[in-house]
Structures are given as structure tokens and as C-alpha cells.
Amino acid sequence: MPLARAHNIAVSLDGFATGAGQSLDTPFGHAGMRLMEWFFPTATFQGLSGDRERQTVEEAADPDDWFAAQSFEGIGAEIMGANKFGPPGWQEDPDWRGWWGEEPPFHTPTFVLTHTPKAPLVMEGGTTFHFLSATPEVALETALEAAGGRDVRIGGGPTMVREFLAAGLVDHLHVVQVPILLGRGVRLWDGLEGLERMYSVESVTTPSGVTHLTFTKR
């Protein structure tokens, strides 16, 4: 049975999954890229298509790479929130095509949750962005139909992931606890008290200093 999976959701020690003040120049707000520094040295990141700068793969990143790579295994479609697709106000820019250049790393139908109607964007490499105004339940049903029997990735940002968790729709959740304090931004866990009782939870700390928490629905 196809699953709904969320991967690589990086969270600070004080619970923020992105910083305050997201903009075109600061996709993660005042957090900068600190929440994702564990990810950039991995072979998975190096292999992604798009315009991002490539770095030398570090041997110490191999444990992190195992978790990072799981995000792309068996995925047939993605759902993402409006703030993952672009900075505030992208809906008013007819030329905005996402952060990732002409060949985004998704290579599947990708559903962007937004209240602003927009024609589908067909990109290189198999990604097509569909713009959908829907509840989490309807969005997941739509994505599962498009996924052709494969899993659906719940791609973020944190507000959208939290809504899917609150609705009980996430079968597998991978959270990366990053040892930084942000103080402000968008929290992941608000309103989800007792969520852990629905899941089997495992944790692994890697040499990079992050802790990978894996939640598998019971």
C-alpha cells in the first residue's frame, strides 16, 4: 500500500523548522542555511539536478547520506506548501518557476498547495508543478492517484507538514534535530502533543552532530 512520507525535516533545538523573515534572498529566513548544513556534504545532495553549487562529498557525511537518500526512494509524487515553492508574493510573479532552476530535483508530479490558481508548469527532468487549493486529505488523494502506486512525499515547509500530521495522514516521518537555537521562526511541533504515541520512534546521532528521528506509524 502506498505511503505518505516526510523526509529531511530539519528542526532546531528549540523546535523551529525555518527561521523568521523568509525572502527571495533568504529561503530559510534568518536561519540562513544552518538547518541544512548536514545535508550539503552528502552524495545525495551532490547528485541533485538544478543550479545549486556542488561541494566535495565528505566521508563523515556517509551516515547522513543514508537518511538523505531515503527521501528519493520509491516516490511517485510530492506535495509541498506555497512557502516551499517560493518566497512571499511569488503568486503575483508570472515568471516565478520555483527555487530549483529548469530541472528541479523531484522528477515527479509535484502538487503545490496554494489558494492562487495557476496553470501547470512543465519542467525538465519529469517534474510538473500542479497548483492545488485543497485540504490535506484531498491533496493526498490527488497525489496518490498521480503517483501510480508509489509513495507520496510530504515535502514541507513546516506549516504544511504540521497540518498533515494533525490530520493523521503521515505514515513515515524523518526529522533531523540540528544543534542550533533559532529563537524565532516557524515551529513544527505546535499543537501536536502526544503525536509520538501514534508512531514507533528511532533515533540515530551521526558524526555531523545531528540526530535523525524516524517516526513509523504503528
- Residue 128: count other Cβ atoms within 10 Å of its Cβ: 16
The C-alpha atoms of residue 152 and residue 180 are separated, in whole angstroms, by 30
Tell me the mean pLDDT in the region 5-20: 98
The C-alpha atoms of residue 3 and residue 75 are separated, in whole angstroms, by 9
Tell me the mean pLDDT in the region 39-63: 67
Give me the number of domains the chain comprises.
Answer: 1
Residue 198's CATH number: 3.40.430.10
pLDDT of residue 47: 81
Tell me the mean pLDDT in the region 137-162: 97
Residue 54 confidence (pLDDT) above 80: no
Q: Looking up cell 524523518, which residue turns up?
A: 174
Residue 25 confidence (pLDDT) above 90: yes
Tell me the mean pLDDT in the region 114-122: 94
Candidate from 3-17, 60-74, 90-104 with smallest mean pLDDT: 60-74
pLDDT of residue 161: 98
pLDDT of residue 117: 87
- Residue 146: count other Cβ atoms within 10 Å of its Cβ: 17
Structure confidence at residue 49 as a pLDDT band (50, 70, 90): very low
pLDDT of residue 62: 86
**Global pTM value:** 0.92
Residue 48 confidence (pLDDT) above 80: no
- Strands of the sheet containing 4-12, edge to edge, are 121-122, 128-132, 109-113, 75-81, 151-154, 4-12, 172-178, 211-217, 199-205
Residue 132 confidence (pLDDT) above 80: yes
Smallest CA-to-CA distance from 176 within 17, 1, 5, 3 is with: 17
Q: Domain limits at 176?
A: 4-217
Secondary structure of residue 51 in the 3-state scheme:
coil
